[in-house]
Amino acid sequence: MPFIKAADINVYWEQHGPADGTPVFFIGGSGGDLRKKPNVFDGPLAKYANVVSYDQRGLGQTEKPDAPYTMQQYADDAAALMEAVGWPSAHVIGVSFGGMVAQHLAQRHPEKIRKLVLCCTSPGGAGGSSYPLHTVADMEEAERIRFMAPISDTRSDANWQRENAELFASLIKMQVDAEKPFVDERRRAQGAVWQLEARKHHDAWEGLAAMPHETLVCGGRYDGIATPLTQQRMAGRIPDATLKMYDGGHLFLLQDRAAWNDIMSFLDIAT
């Protein structure tokens, strides 16, 4: 799969879906790596839309500069990649950290976005921030997954974990195993740290009020990372925004089939 020069780094990216489909630029979340499955290309979107996604600065197979990163850099990387692949504009979907990047993209490069979808993310600042993932970055992988489970989905509390011990153990193992092949890659750990440092300083709140894009804000009713209250504040701040909540936690896109149907309908993607 291709690498391309975007801004000051070599970016790993993929493009899937019908060539004549609606162009959709997808920005993934913290620790995103397109080698991990399932990803956006395994879902319904790429069956009907022409989808581009990529590993962000410091992540996956993309270059990992050994220096602090900023949210502005992440936004400029996205804009540069769109230019490099020949897309002057597209619909943009940002999920979790990718939604934070998408907000900065919308404010720094508004011409790049046709319609905007913000999933399980936050505006930062006075609008509220997502859970501070940098505070758990030093935990061992399985410990961190176990700790974050009832935050990612508030239904997965201690009682649920006890009653579903075998299932919970298998989910932890699946996530740990997904990371194992890449854990020793050069600068992988440092790149992840730099991303979380940038995330810590995310604040797009003030600029949301001037964003011109028709926007769909969506989240999970049981999400403790990007809370329902934060989704409400964000949607209320953006002039042309619609809010929809779904039956799930931070992974509601995998938990509630209605979510992708609504997103594709919002983007006028025929199915």
| pLDDT tens digit sequence for 206-251 | 999 999 999 999 999 999 999 999 999 999 999 999 999 999 999 9
> What pLDDT does 229 receive?
98
> What pLDDT does 1 receive?
58
* Closest among 178, 7, 22 to 92, alpha carbons compared: 22
pLDDT < 70 regions, the chain: 1
Every domain of the chain and the residues it spans? 3-131+186-266
Taking only Cα atoms into account, the Rg of the chain, rounded to an integer number of angstroms, comes to 18
pLDDT mean across residues, the chain? 96
| pLDDT tens digit sequence for 38-48 | 999 999 999 99
For residue 197, how many other CB atoms are within 10 A of its CB? Answer: 15
Tokens encoding 149: 């489970």
Q: Is the separation of the CB atoms in 58 and 66 below 8 Å? A: no
Kindly report the pTM of this predicted structure. 0.97
Q: Is the separation of the CB atoms in 165 and 102 below 8 Å? A: no
Q: Is the separation of the CB atoms in 267 and 232 below 8 Å? A: no
Half-sphere exposure of 254 (CA within 13 A, CB side): 12
Output the CA torsion sign for 42, 44, 46, 52. Answer: negative
Interstrand relation of 113-119 and 90-95 (parallel, antiparallel or unpaired): parallel
Which homologous superfamily does the CATH classification assign to the domain defined by 3-131+186-266?
A: Alpha/Beta hydrolase fold, catalytic domain (3.40.50.1820)
